Structure 1
Amino acid sequence: MSVPRARILDLMKAQCQVFATSYNPEGVRMGNKILRQRLRGPAMAAYYPRKTATIQDLKREFGPNLATWDEAEEDRFEYIEELKLRGKSAPKKKKGPPAPTGKKR
């Protein structure tokens, strides 16, 4: 003996009200499984260590009046100078308007 579908749907509706779940008789994908999970944001944010102050932060905060020494920046400038002496550095940027290359049609 089978039970009518309407009776089963009424039972499902009552069950959802009692157990505080969402009523979904058609079985449509609603994402409830994902929404019930814990949030990942706080765990991901705590994964990386807190950022410490750098020399660039100090320059940005106190301006050009503060005399600072950035070892990494000085090494970079020294490396660029060595490249320039060997002729391996980036070319100079072009200044002025572009020269006409030919007739326009």
Structure 2
Amino acid sequence: MAVPRARVLDLLKAQCQIFSTTYNPDNVRMGNKILRQRLKGPSMAKYYPPRGPDIKTIAKVFKPYNLELIDAEEMDRQEHLAGQVIRDLRLLVDGQLTLW
């Protein structure tokens, strides 16, 4: 004589309430086991040395003294973006570039 499924589900629901677990009668994969684990990020970050100062942080430090540092990489990036804007506008005028 088998026990009805509804009765088993009621027992499972009561068990989940008592032991503070997730009620999942359909056995759907929800990822609770993974989400309960500790995060690995802080321990992984300890393996690597801290990053040294870059141009932006040094510029922030010397900003009160009115010293201006030249960031060559940032200047190259700005020139590259300006060139892209000019190329995109030229294509837009020629009708070759569609926006959507």
Q: TM-score range by the shorter chain?
A: 0.5 to 0.7
Q: Which has the higher helix share?
A: 2
Instruction: Note the 1:14-93 alignment, pairs <5 A.
Output: 14-53=14-53, 56=55, 57-58=57-58, 60=59, 61-62=61-62, 63-64=67-68
Q: How many residues align?
A: 64
The residue matched to 2:43 in structure 1 has which SS? helix
Percent identical across equivalent pairs? 62
Give the whole-Å Cα distance in 1 for the aligned partners of 2:35 and 2:7: 29
Corresponding position of 2:6: 6
RMSD: 2.3
Q: Normalising by structure 2, report the TM-score.
A: 0.54
Q: Normalising by structure 1, report the TM-score.
A: 0.51
- Give the number of the structure whose alpha-carbon radius of gyration is greater: 1
The residue matched to 2:9 in structure 1 has which SS? helix
User: Gapped runs of 5+ residues in structure 2?
Assistant: 70-100
- Please report how far the alpha carbon of residue 64 of structure 1 lies from its aligned counterpart in structure 2 after TM superposition: 3.9
**4+ runs deviating over 4 angstroms:** none
Give the whole-Å Cα distance in 1 for the aligned partners of 2:26 and 2:68: 67
The residue matched to 1:47 in structure 2 has which SS? coil
Question: AA paired with 1:5?
Answer: R
